Amino acid sequence: MDRDQRRLLSTIHLEAFVVATATIPAMHSVMPDVIQHAIEHVLVRPIVIDAANIEVQYSYRETIARASMAIKKQEFYEGAALHLLARSGLIRALRYEPPFFLLNDSLSVLLKYSTRNRSPWGFTFTVEEQRALSTKAAVGKTTIGLVCGADGVASLCYNAYLRIATLRNSALHIACYRKRGGHYEVVGPDGPLARKVPPANWQRLLFDGDAAHEPC
């Protein structure tokens, strides 16, 4: 590796370099010796990129480790909802097909979450999510799980969802309300769901299939 290549590595913003080398396979064939040297020598220790700002970037290995180990907020809530289902012992297969989770190769679930501690909980459905729901529901069973903070999950099948939120060309919002010890009232832009949703419906999802939804 010549001096110019070493100077290049010392001036590239490390995060951009990490993203490029991790996500663009072509770079591995364009500059294999540069990248290998970075991984083995330069990027295994902190580097001061900008002495004026004293901006210190982590090593390649530590950055990758931190990125792979970090759990996003969305993953906490989705994981909690899936854990409730797993406790039933009826999950035989689980596959992630963004933005859906496919359970037992037969039920597609879209999980939305709200971080609020108490009622009401609000959920936004983008145009892309609305279209994805419509497409998925046309070919198989589809459920929406509304994760209401730490309170629980309100589940409704796609038909119930359509009663309160028909397909739109803009994002739409759904809200869940629940009094202590009560059921979830789910309200969309087209009005409230006719019947409230028992919190236990989510955990019965794999037991009862469509029967777990009220109404569907």
- Residue 17: what pLDDT? 38
- Number of domains making up the chain: 2
Higher pLDDT, 164 or 15: 164
Query: pLDDT digits over 104-148, tens only?
Result: 999 999 999 999 999 999 999 999 999 999 999 999 999 999 999
Looking at residue 68, its pLDDT comes to: 61
Tell me the pLDDT tens digit for each residue of 193-205: 999 999 999 999 9
Where does the pLDDT of residue 210 fall: very low under 50, low under 70, confident under 90, or very high at 90 and above?
Answer: very low
Q: Could you tell me which of 57, 61, 33, 34 has the C-alpha nearest to residue 46?
A: 57
Q: Which domain holds residue 48?
A: 3-69
HEC string of 109-166? Answer: EEEEEECCCCCCEEEEECHHHHHHHHHHHCCCEEEEEEEECCCEEEEEEHHHHHHHCC
Sheet holding 121-125, edge to edge: 121-125, 172-177, 185-188, 191-192
Query: What average pLDDT does the structure give for the chain?
Result: 78
The sign of the dihedral angle between the CA atoms of 208, 111, 180, 85 is positive
Are 122 and 56 in a shared domain? no
pLDDT of 93 above 80: yes
92 shares a domain with 47: no
Do 95 and 202 lie in one domain? The reply is: yes
Shared-domain flag, residues 82 and 60: no
Same domain, 80 and 127: yes
Which uninterrupted H or E stretch holds 95?
A: strand 94-97
Return the CATH number at 96: 3.40.1350
Q: pLDDT digit string (tens) for 30-67?
A: 444 544 444 444 444 443 444 444 344 445 455 545 55
